[in-house]
Structure 1
Amino acid sequence: MGLTLELAYDDPKEICTLFQEYTDMLVRESPSFAGYLKIQHYDAELDDLRGKYGLPGGRLYLARVDGAAAGCVALRRLDEARCELKRMYVRPPYRAQGISAALMDRILTDAREIGYKKLLLDTLPFLTTAIAMYRRRGFVEIASYNDSPLPETIYMELEL
């Protein structure tokens, strides 16, 4: 498997396709997630990926396997000390091949190099494989840090 991770600012079409696959899956599993996407101004996010995930405080990666788009991840600045993991997604045919681990390693390295002290995320209970990976990496559950209207949202944090 030829896995590469690349900054994806110059390839918004592929990133937007992956983001849409990810959010479509979330809405299928939890229909009320559609309302949360509106609160997050998701359409505007897709129109201006650099605005939310741009350098120097953010990151946006595309994972490719033998040249094919396989997954993505984003990092968003919350404040000087905290950042947020966003849009971690690997397409089903590429799962269980270490791609999410490679994306997570890259984001953790970048977050530390930028100087962040904490990495936060929110997730949903049905994403059991992702939650298990986060826990293995040292993430712990915390109180809500955003305005998610979904009561089932799980909030996690990692001290960097």
Structure 2
Amino acid sequence: MRIETFVDQFPVAAPPRRVYDHLAEPTNHIGLSPLIVAVRDIERGTDPAGQQELRYVAVERFTVAGPLHYDNILRVCQTNTVPGRRLVMRVRSPARVRVRFVMDVEPAGTGVGHDPGTVVTVSVTLQMPTLLRSYVVRTARKVQMFRARTLAERMSC
């Protein structure tokens, strides 16, 4: 098994609480990643540390050829570790791929005459079979860039 980690940081022109609330709702991830086409079976609860925890299934769709596709069923556990500031998502794929996302949402700071907005920092840790490394890392990076653009667009409305 290989482990890879990368970190991305991007601005969003919206208040931190609005950005956090959007990221904390599992159904908002449909289309936030270009591969996620459905979210279902959401269970809300509390972990042993008293933090809000959500467990759900996300469906990741890969195009195989033309109209043929493969739906990859992901098991997601999301913990709101610092309410309003940090989300941790642990994702398990049937292909023995594990992903851990740590999403930190912070005020961008103050600027003269500007809305301070938000800075989102996403740390991604991938664990995968060695044979899948290149594909998994390349796909994860593309998804992360797409997420940054799409989140910024959604929050600008």
**When the two structures are superposed, what TM-score results if normalisation uses the length of structure 2?**
0.32
Q: Which has the larger radius of gyration?
A: 2
Ranked by relative contact order (alpha carbons within 8 Å, sequence separation 6 or more), the top structure is 2
* TM-score, normalised with respect to structure 1: 0.32
Query: Which structure shows the higher strand fraction?
Result: 2
